[in-house]
A and B are shown apart, each in its own frame.
Chain A
């Protein structure tokens, strides 16, 4: 079946511009995660959505970052007033349900470059 998809695959923007990154989770998965993969820093958790519950935003690095999930499916991560340090690969993952044992399945990522 279809996996997690993300768009765009690459995004180049100028410092100070806003960007939107999109994630389509696996159909039926109620949990959705955003992570950031920076060179030399591994994967960093950003935000978690589960069904209709309030999202866990504990990983967002600043108030320039926000995310929403419409209709319990597609999610958009927005970065306002981008900075060069925002350059990274942004990965989305989804999983079944609430159980912490569930496997997270990752999309191919969006590579963001802020000039």
Chain B
């Protein structure tokens, strides 16, 4: 069965500090991995994805994520947090074969403190 775990419901970080939002996954076979961000009363906005190749993926707004196959993780990172990064972040996985849909984690609320 496919699943995604985001172990932290809430992450607080000071503005200017590096941030990490954690994600681990369980999937049959090789995964496609995605990060989305949701601002209040908005839909999900795509940030980045891992398909194949380099384990470090760079995305929108200075975010990046590192695919670690041995640890089945895909943590989202940013070197210097902005107050405007405060939002709800979702990790999602899709197996390369089988299910048509994305499987989402329960989300992590990031608060960047000025």
Chain A residues in the interface with B (C-beta under 8 A): 4, 6, 33, 35, 40-43, 45, 48, 50, 56, 59, 91, 93, 100-101, 103-109, 111
The answer to whether A4 and B43 touch (CB under 8 A), given A45-B102, A103-B49, is yes
Q: With a CB–CB cut-off of 8 A, which chain B residues contact A43?
A: 44, 90, 92, 102, 104
Contact, CB under 8 Å: A100 / B44: no
Q: With a CB–CB cut-off of 8 A, which chain B residues contact A100?
A: 32, 94-97, 100
Q: CB of B51 within 8 A of chain A? A: yes
Chain B CB within 10 Å — which of A42, A43, A104, A108 has the most? Answer: A43
Contact, CB under 8 Å: B45 / A101: no
- Chain B: how many interface residues by the 8 Å CB criterion? 25
Name the residue of chain A whose CB is nearest to the CB of B106: A42
Q: With a CB–CB cut-off of 8 A, which chain B residues contact A106?
A: 36, 43-46
Q: With a CB–CB cut-off of 8 A, which chain A residues contact B103?
A: 45
Contact, CB under 8 Å: A108 / B43: yes
Chain A nearest Cβ from B13, distance in angstroms: 22
